Amino acid sequence: MSQHTDRDTVHYLSTLSFPEAWLDELRAVSPRLVVEQITAGTPEDVPAEVWARTDVLHTGSVFPAAGQAPRLSWIQLDTSGADHLRGTPVWDGPAPITSIGGISPVPMAEYVMMAVLGFAHRLPRMIAVQQEGRWPSLAERWDTLMPRRLAGATVGVVGYGRIGREIGRLATAHRMTVLGLRRGAAPRAGEFFGTADGDDPAELYTPERLHEFLARCDYLVLTCPLTDETRGMIDKAAFDALKPGAVLINVSRGGIADEDAMTAALRSGRLAGAALDVFDNEPLPAGHPLWTEPGVLVSPHVAGFSPDYERQVLDLVTDNLARHLDGRPLLNLVDRVHGY
């Protein structure tokens, strides 16, 4: 039996709570791997000697202090975004960072289409009628429950990547026009988990044409990461440029759409409604006006929940572990310059 020295051994630490069978599948990647899991909420929950031997860290929000993990050579996030790492020692350190982007495009796109269809068919008003417990007259139903035409309507996706392309596919099936706004080229197969080459259904815009893009949107969908460039990008001027009567759907991050400007646009009628899964402050505080704002659907940051989460994360992490051990490029590398 071959023996592996400490130099050969790669110590993987999860601060999450995966089943032991899940961890066993990681162990099967290579006899060089030592897999350890310590469910932690803070860095202090991980003993110093564990930090000292960790080569690979799989975590959502628990990171070592400067100098605490000298062997750290790769960080696998259990989040799609990386904005919460800014200002931490690991962000400024040398270890590559990867995300779990590509896990949730299908459920997130389905959430978006749920919101599109819900607003198109006046779901907020239907719920209000049910809660009132009365049957409206035919004239009232005709005036307040007539659906918006979906075929031919335009959905614009800010941050048109893996999630945006899946939204585009579903929207196209409903005969909608799809616009995509993104900074650079489309994600390429072989660089990101869950990315496949293929036809792109969207008409593409760059950020410099944001207001031109907004003027065409019946449904504005935010799927972009929170970065210095995107923070506050949907501000009062953007809402003023948005097509009157549009619906906003935000499944990205709070901070991208200015909440005060959004509320003003809702109350003025500029926005016909909003489906919001993310907020500036989470949990959304009790008593916050958005809980009861008419025409707003509030959900508690669940659009990215995937029923196949553990299996998909396992597929990504085992692939990346094999790549790491072989010295090959990792999938889902976070670009520290652009912040995602």
pLDDT of residue 8: 84
Q: Do the domain assignments include residue 120?
A: yes
Host domain of residue 258: 105-298
User: What are the E-state strand segments in 69-145?
Assistant: 74-77, 97-98
Q: Do the domain assignments include residue 340?
A: no
**Are the C-beta atoms of 174 and 151 separated by less than 8 Å?**
yes
Q: Which residues pair with 247 in a beta bridge?
A: 219, 273
Q: Do the domain assignments include residue 130?
A: yes
Q: Do the domain assignments include residue 334?
A: no
Residues 203, 237, single domain; the answer is yes
Residues 226, 248, single domain; the answer is yes
pLDDT of residue 26: 96
Reduced 3-state DSSP string for 118-137: HHHCCHHHHHHHHHHCCCCC
Q: In what order do the strands lie in the sheet with 154-158?
A: 203-205, 177-181, 154-158, 219-222, 246-250, 271-276, 296-298
- Please state the φ and ψ torsions of residue 240, each to the nearest 5 degrees: -65, -30
**280, 298, 316: which is the final residue of a domain?**
298
Q: Which of 306, 314, 301, 304 is nearest to 14 (CA)?
A: 314
pLDDT of residue 338: 86
Residues 137, 98, single domain; the answer is no
The identity of residue 115, as a single letter, is A
* Count of alpha carbons within 13 angstroms of residue 260, beta-carbon side: 3
pLDDT of residue 108: 96
pTM for the predicted model, two decimal places: 0.89
Residues 214, 237, single domain; the answer is yes
At 203, list the tokens: 């008409």
Residues 135, 26, single domain; the answer is no
- CATH code for position 193: 3.40.50.720
Query: What are the residue ranges in the chain where pLDDT is below 70?
Result: 1-7, 185-199
Number of domains in the chain: 2
Q: Do the domain assignments include residue 339?
A: no
Residues 195, 283, single domain; the answer is yes
* Contacts by 119-124, CB closer than 8 A, 24 or more apart: 119/148, 119/219, 119/247, 119/272, 119/273, 119/275, 120/147, 120/148, 120/149, 120/150, 120/153, 121/147, 121/148, 122/146, 122/147, 122/148, 123/297, 124/273, 124/294, 124/295, 124/296, 124/297
Q: Is the peptide bond before 283 cis (omega within 30 degrees of 0)?
A: yes
Buried b (16+ CB within 10 A) or exposed e, 278-306: bbeeeebeeeeebeebebbbeeebebbeb
**Integer Cα distance of 271 and 248 in angstroms:** 7
pLDDT of residue 184: 73
Q: Do the domain assignments include residue 234?
A: yes
pLDDT of residue 140: 97
Q: Which of 274, 268, 244, 270 is nearest to 256 (CA)?
A: 274
Residues 130, 232, single domain; the answer is yes
Residues 254, 147, single domain; the answer is yes
Residues 212, 117, single domain; the answer is yes
Residues 83, 56, single domain; the answer is yes
Residues 33, 172, single domain; the answer is no
Residues in the chain: 340
Q: Do the domain assignments include residue 177?
A: yes
Q: In what order do the strands lie in the sheet with 33-37?
A: 33-37, 10-14, 56-59, 74-77, 97-98
Q: Do the domain assignments include residue 1?
A: no
Residues 292, 318, single domain; the answer is no
